[in-house]
Amino acid sequence: MSEVIVVGAGLAGLASAVRLAKLGHQVTICERDERLGGVLGRIEADGFQWDAGAASTTLPAALRDLFRKSGRPIDSLLQLEPVTEPRRHMFSDGSVLDLPVSDRGDQADAWTDLAGAQVAQQWTDLVDSYGDTWQILRKTSLEPPLEHKLPLSAVRALKPWQSLEKVAQRHLSDERARAVLRHFAAQGGSDAKLTPGYVGVWSYLERTFGRWTADGGFGALADALAQRASERKITVRTGADVTAVTTKAGTVTGVRLADGTELTADVVVSDIDPRDLYGQLVDDPAAKKVRKRVLATHQAQAAYVVHLGLREPVPTLPFETVLHGTPTVVVRTGGRAPAGHQAWTVLVHGYPTDDVLDLLVARGLPIRDKVVSRQASPSWWAGVAWEGYRTARRRAANVSPVKGLYCVGAGAHPGSGVPATTLGAAIVADAIGKA
């Protein structure tokens, strides 16, 4: 049995903790805040409730595998529900696309109605092509640790040097279709011109596996993982600010807290910004090369998030609406509200120079006089921005050169978002193995 300390209790940290506890390790979570879950939280005010960060996910199998590998199936703690409404795209020319997220034929029909059969076929063919991309990424990057060198056949197929913007320009003749594809970069806080084209694989994953949320809001996922941690007898220390990962001769020995407490460990799993981990917490010669590489990355741009409580009547919107333009604005309607009201969450991807309400009014949603509550989400670590395809190698590896140190979360391989961070936790659990 190894003594394991998990630093940070975001989704990836909690996922790693419960998996490792099920494998027989003695696990302690050290979380700086007073609550668990990171961006999987809730904002509550004036009778309204909103998801603070993530509100849905694709690839639900990653979550189902997490709960199955840590104890009972997910259904015993949490009910995942499919998002059945199309995602609405509103464009600057006034046109509107209601694009189903989980049906190939319905997507083609939606594009045909908006832009004609040729554009519909272009979109369908492009998304179809990402099926092969998914299989390559799954086998080489998303399930195992990232290899130092991918097989040449995989590199040729992925064409990592080709940007998402280049893919959009090459395969889609309609600017609105290009904007929809670019959104897969924008929602991760990156520029499509600097994002590898293979990131468009998320269009295939949504169409194939759908998009899923949780009964009661996605914050329920954090509650379910906290309960699973309790079932697995994990020690949880909130208000525990880790100021150092202690090492000896290139091997982890434990962590030091802000109050001077030292906790010993055979294994440390970090779910914090790797730039903070290697730049401030780890002082060991074995980390020299990885420190230089990780510190060369830059943070992805976190969305500016505002939660609105609105008095009805307001425009009827689906679960998610993307208002294309500069900046891109996303409206989510899945919050809970008192009778006669609605709870919207507004995410601004880009650098807002106008107030959120001004942006909504300018994009055709005049709801200024309907606002009865306005709350802001705390900022969060958004992961690493794409700055060309080499970013994948600069992102922190799951297995550190410091023996016994592992990295998970938005800043580590395989990236940000609920599916990727959950898969990263699985990679780490497999690398550490049974007690």
Residue 118 has pLDDT above 90, yes or no: yes
CATH code for residues 101-205: 1.10.405
Omega before 366 cis (within 30°)?
A: no
Give pLDDT tens digits for 47-99.
Answer: 999 998 899 999 999 999 999 999 999 999 999 999 999 999 999 999 999 99
Q: Is residue 57 within 8 Å of residue 419, measured between CB atoms?
A: yes
Residue 290 has pLDDT above 70, yes or no: yes
**Averaged pLDDT of the chain:** 95
Mean pLDDT of 8-31: 97
Give pLDDT tens digits for 330-340.
Answer: 999 999 999 99
Domains 3-45+54-80+216-299+382-432 and 304-376 share a fold: no
Residue 353 has pLDDT above 80, yes or no: no
pLDDT reported for residue 1 = 65
Q: How far apart are CA 258 and CA 194, in angstroms?
A: 38
Is domain 3-45+54-80+216-299+382-432 classified as CATH 3.40.50.1220?
no
pLDDT reported for residue 148 = 67
Residue 352 has pLDDT above 80, yes or no: no
Q: Is residue 95 within 8 Å of residue 111, measured between CB atoms?
A: no
Give pLDDT tens digits for 126-172.
Answer: 999 999 999 999 998 888 887 667 888 889 999 999 999 999 999 99
Any bridge partners for residue 301, and if so which? none
Q: What share of the chain is helix, strand, coil (3-state, %, to 5)?
A: 40, 25, 40
pLDDT reported for residue 88 = 98
The Cβ of residue 161 has, within 10 Å, a number of other Cβ atoms equal to: 12
Comparing 39-53, 136-150, 197-211, 283-297, the range with the smallest average pLDDT is: 136-150
Sign of torsion over alpha carbons 196, 180, 329, 11: negative
Q: How far apart are CA 234 and CA 113, in angstroms?
A: 53
Residue 119 has pLDDT above 80, yes or no: yes
Q: What distance lies between CA 407 and its chain's CA centroid?
A: 15
Give pLDDT tens digits for 212-259.
Answer: 999 888 889 999 999 999 999 999 999 999 999 999 999 999 999 999
Name the band, by pLDDT with cuts 50, 70 and 90, for residue 379.
Answer: confident
CATH code for residues 304-376: 3.30.70
Tokens of 145: 């640790």
Higher pLDDT pick, 25 / 141: 25
Residue ranges of domains in the chain: 3-45+54-80+216-299+382-432, 101-205, 304-376
Name the band, by pLDDT with cuts 50, 70 and 90, for residue 4.
Answer: very high
